[in-house]
Amino acid sequence: MTAARPRRPRSREALPDYLLSEQQLEDMYYFMLLSRRLSERMMALNRQGRAAFVIAGAGQEAAQVGAAMALKKGTDYLAPYYRDLGMNLVFGMDAREAMLNLLGKRDDPNSFGRQMPSHWGNAARRIVTQSSVVATQLLHATGIGLAAKLSNDPIVVLTCCGEGSTSRGDFHEALNFAAIHRLPVIFYIQNNGFAISERTEKEMPVENVADRARAYNIQSAVVDGMDCVAVYQTVRPAVDQARRGGGPYLIEAKCYRLWPHSSDDDDTRYRPRKELEEWAKKDPLLLFRNRVETDGVFPREDLDEIEARVEEEIREAVQWALMQPDPAPEDALGHVYKEL
Amino acid sequence: MAEMTVIEAIRTTLDEELARDGRIFILGEDVEAGGVFRATEGLAAKYPGRVIDSPLAESSIVGVSIGAAHYGLRPIAEIQFADFIHAAFDHLCSEASRWSYRTKGDACLPMVVRTPWGGGVHGGQHHSQSIEAYYTHLPGIKVVAPAFPADYRSLLKAAIADPNPVLFLEHKRTYRLIRQDVASAPAETVIGRARVARKGGDLTIYAYGLMLHESLAAAAALASEGIEATVVDLLTLQPLDVETVLETAKATGKALIVHEDTLTGGFGGEIAALIAEHAFEHLDAPVRRLCAPDIPAMPYHPNMEHFFMPDREKIAAAARDLAAY
């Protein structure tokens, strides 16, 4: 974790009710906050004409950070989707890299300016490269699970998509394949209520994506995706079970997309403001902060300090990233094939 | 094992490769029972757990292979008939072909997709297709289409060793039709090279797969009439051996391109364009393409199937016309 030292030492013992240590809880807040504030800055850069496109995970930070923290960094694989900034941060991306990616800079380690922003990938960090085509990554994750099983490696792969992606054949094929071979794959569905403008009732005739797991003989759970602690507590046992050979697991995190689909979308065409205001009260950052403050885990000043640290990291990262070189035109060429 | 058929060449190579490298595994429909063409016969028992039946879902076969290759294994996917690979097109086009490019070489996919293609087996519209043109249009994927058993062996080994996705096209009509003494036969061991299979000064015929054999038969018949044809076995379609294509076109001044895929948008157009662009001054006649007619797919009834496919007689007739030009 990249979180800097807090002003007093954090305990690494699990707190009752949380099953997480103070240090883990601080990391949780840090990553959620970093994800949100980065996204806000990205959108501002877009409105200033400095970034062509932004697609973010505002409202899904708890779902992302809680799940990613349940994995073993450096060991387990992540096959994310485009909203998963929070997951990537937990897996090692920092504010500078996030900005390189947004700006399509030459040295963006995700795709070196070759893909739109938020198309993640970093082989060393075990983050699998992805395209804009939804749900294909579920089959890639299944293949990683198969390879790990054939190699007797005790790793787990967690793959993400939105509920809209579960309409695609690849979702069903991946569940089917992973279940047949009992592969260590966590299918992590972030149900944010929208596939661009379409509500879930236009995407599926069942209430929960998790309901579909039964048809594939896969264990499943539904969790409040606005509650980071609950997410961790749900995903962690599934990861542990998969690592022990217990087979795949489908977890549906119910969350809410607080922003339009992307910087190019106008959600006022299809979403009443009243609805948005109601959900904003359940903002995952707000919920987390209120809980740890009320429970006395951290004093208010500590949380404010994390906020200040995040602000400073982002300020520095934006300034730095804007100065970084763009790809040269001819950088479009090369690496079409991997050389032996 | 000196003389062997195409299918025997493939099976023995798979066997040798599975024995050589523990990272290799086979994934496809019915492969545990040996596959519908028997390419994997006996291998499931010999290599337990490494020859894996997939559900009947081509997107799964290729998508799962992508993940396994990314992890570091060496999957060999079998698509039972090339006609059914379209369900996996998304994974080959949007994912596999771009894996190295979009990560600037940070990740790669050492995987092979084997699939039987081509007509002449009364397979009708959905068991006879030529699919090469879809994939030669995807830089990032290599496309190999051998004709002789020795090349099947060496190029399958090369495909497995390659760190990129390779579409390995096996002409199903030749599986048991074509035999060769592989011990003494020449074998192309590098992906990306064509071979001059026959030399003659009057024209050059370009072909691959079954059509290569038909072209050689046509060339033999033409020789008795005093027409000498060079025949180029393209072997790899992507990346294409442009040098050999241009050298032979320049040397003979006349080019006849043969494929059983339909004419418009077929791979022959690319060869014709290359010759027109880079060998124009050497040409003594317009470039000629002999391909299937522009109808959606190969019809079932033998009369119509024969009408659809080029063969040695049609090739010889086209070559005679071209030689006389």
List, as own/partner pairs, every contact residues B269-272 make where C-beta atoms lie below 8 angstroms and the sequence separation is at least 24, other chains included: B270/B136, B270/B240, B271/B206, B271/B240, B271/B245
* Per-residue pLDDT tens digits for B94-126: 999 999 999 999 999 999 999 999 999 999 999
Q: Shortest CB distance from A143 goes to which of B65, B106, B164?
A: B65
| Cβ–Cβ gap A123/B68 under 8 Å | no
Q: Which of residues 54-113 of A touch B (CB under 8 A)?
A: 77, 79, 109-112
For the segment A88-116, what is each residue's pLDDT rounded down to a tens digit?
999 999 999 999 999 999 999 999 999 99
List CB contacts (< 8 A) between A169 and chain B.
57, 59
Question: Which chain B residues contact residue A110 at CB under 8 A?
Answer: 103
The burial of A27, by beta-carbon neighbours within 10 Å (0-12 exposed, 13-18 middle, 19 or more buried), is given as buried
Task: Please pick, among A10, A37, A212, A261, the residue that the annotation labels catalytic.
Answer: A261
To which residue do tokens 């009260």 refer?
A281
Which residues in chain B touch residue A337, judged by CB atoms under 8 angstroms apart? 100, 140, 142, 163-164, 239
Model pLDDT, residue B103 = 98
| Token pair for A105 | 């800079």
Taking an 8 Å cut-off on Cβ atoms, the answer to whether B67 and A173 are in contact is: no
Whether the CB of A128 is below 8 Å from some CB of chain B: the reply is: yes
Asked whether the predicted pLDDT for residue A7 surpasses 90, the reply is no
Q: Rounded distance, CA A101 to CA A92, Å?
A: 14
Length of chain B measured in residues: 325
Q: Express each pLDDT in A40-55 by its tens digit.
A: 999 999 999 999 999 9
Residues B254, B203 contacting (CB under 8 angstroms): yes
- CA–CA distance from B210 to each of A306, B3, B131, B186 (Å)? 69, 19, 14, 18
Task: Please state, in angstroms and as integers, the Cα–Cα distance from residue A192 to each residue in A61, A140, A163, A250, following that order.
Answer: 11, 23, 7, 16
By 3-state DSSP, what share of chain B in percent is helix, strand and coil, each rounded to 5?
40, 20, 40
Question: Which domains can be identified in chain B, with CATH numbers?
Answer: 3-181 (3.40.50.970), 195-324 (3.40.50.920)
Q: Mutate which of B47, B64, B157 to test chain A, going by most A C-beta atoms within 10 A?
A: B64
**Distance (Å) from the C-alpha of residue B165 to the closest C-alpha of chain A?**
9
Provide the β-strand partners of residue A249.
A186, A219
Token pair, residue A128, equals 């699998």
Q: Which one of the listed residues B70, B86, B122, B127 is annotated catalytic? A: B127
Name the pLDDT band for A1 (thresholds 50, 70, 90). very low
Provide the residue ranges of all domains of chain A, joining segments of one domain with +.
21-325
Does A257 qualify as catalytic in the annotation?
A: yes
Instruction: List all residues 6 or more positions away from A201 whose beta carbon is below 8 Å from its beta carbon.
Output: none
CB contact under 8 A, A173 and B90: no
Do A147 and B108 count as a contact with CB atoms less than 8 A apart?
A: no
* Mean residue pLDDT across chain A: 96
A224-246: average pLDDT = 98
Q: What is the mean pLDDT of chain B?
A: 97
Distance CA(B128)–CA(B261), nearest Å, equals 10
Q: Which residue of B52, B61, B66, B103 is the best one to mutate when testing the A interface, meaning the one whose CB has the most A CBs within 10 A?
A: B103
Contact assessment for residue A106 and residue A324, using Cβ atoms and an 8 Å cutoff: yes
Please determine, for residue A6, whether its predicted confidence score (pLDDT) is greater than 90.
no
Contact between A20 and A14 (Cβ < 8 Å)? yes
Q: What is the pTM of this model?
A: 0.97
Q: Report the percent of chain A where pLDDT is more than 90.
A: 94
Nearest-angstrom CA–CA distance, B89 and B68: 18
Q: Which residues in chain B have their CB less than 8 angstroms from residue A139's CB?
A: 59-60, 63-64, 66-67, 91
Q: How far is CA B321 from CA A179, B251, B292, B309, B317, in A?
A: 60, 19, 18, 19, 6
Q: Is beta strand A20-21 parallel, antiparallel or unpaired with respect to A77-79? A: unpaired
Task: Label residue A339 by pLDDT band (50, 70, 90).
Answer: confident
* CA torsion, ordered A235, A240, A245, A251, to nearest 10 deg: 0
Instruction: Split chain B (325 residues) into runs of 10 and give each run's mean pLDDT.
Output: 92 98 98 98 98 98 98 98 98 98 98 98 96 98 98 98 98 98 92 98 98 98 98 98 98 98 98 98 98 97 97 98 97
How far, rounded to the nearest angstrom, does the alpha carbon of residue A296 sit from its chain's CA centroid? 28
Residues 6+ apart with CB under 8 A from A281: none
Percent composition of chain A: helix, strand, coil (DSSP 3-state, to 5): 45, 10, 45
Q: Do residue A337 and residue B103 have CB atoms under 8 angstroms apart?
A: no
Q: What is the pLDDT of residue A332?
A: 97
Known catalytic residue at B306: no
A133 vs B105: CB contact, 8 Å cut-off? no
Q: Are B130 and B268 in contact (CB under 8 A)?
A: no
A174 interaction partners in chain B (CB closer than 8 Å): 60, 63
Name the CATH superfamily housing domain A21-325. Thiamin diphosphate (ThDP)-binding fold, Pyr/PP domains (3.40.50.970)
Cα separation of A310 and A304, whole Å?
Answer: 10
How far apart CA A103 and CA A89 sit, in angstroms, is 17
Cβ-Cβ contacts under 8 Å for B259 (sequence gap 6 or more): B130, B132, B207, B208, B211, B266, B267, B268, B291, B292, B310
Q: What is the pLDDT of residue A2?
A: 47
Distance CA(B253)–CA(B248), nearest Å, equals 8
Is A270 a catalytic site residue? yes
**Cβ contact (<8 Å) for B63 and A136?**
yes
Between CA A215 and CA A212 the distance in angstroms is 6
Cα A210 to Cα A212: distance, rounded to the nearest angstrom = 5
Inform me whether the C-beta atom of residue B105 falls under 8 Å from chain A C-beta atoms: yes
Could you report the predicted ipTM of this complex, rounded to two decimals?
0.96
Residues B60 and B37 sit within 8 Å (Cβ to Cβ): no
pLDDT of residue A4: 53
Helices H / strands E in chain A, number of each: 10, 9
Our CA angle for B222, B224, B226, nearest 5°, is 75
Are the beta carbons of A335 and B90 separated by less than 8 Å?
A: no
The single residue listed with the structure tokens 């579920």 is: A138
Torsion angle defined by CA atoms of residues A68, A69, A71 and A76, in that order, rounded to the nearest 10 degrees: 60
The half-sphere exposure of B152 on its side-chain side, counting CA atoms within 13 A, is 31
Of the residues A270, A271, A291, A309, which is catalytic? Answer: A270
Report DSSP state, residue B166. Answer: E
Query: CB distance B106–A334 less than 8 Å?
Result: no
Instruction: Tell me whether B162 touches chain A (CB under 8 Å).
Output: yes
Q: Is A151 on the interface with B (CB under 8 A)?
A: yes
Phi, psi of A160 (to 5 degrees): -120, 150
**What is Dmax (Cα atoms) for chain A?**
58
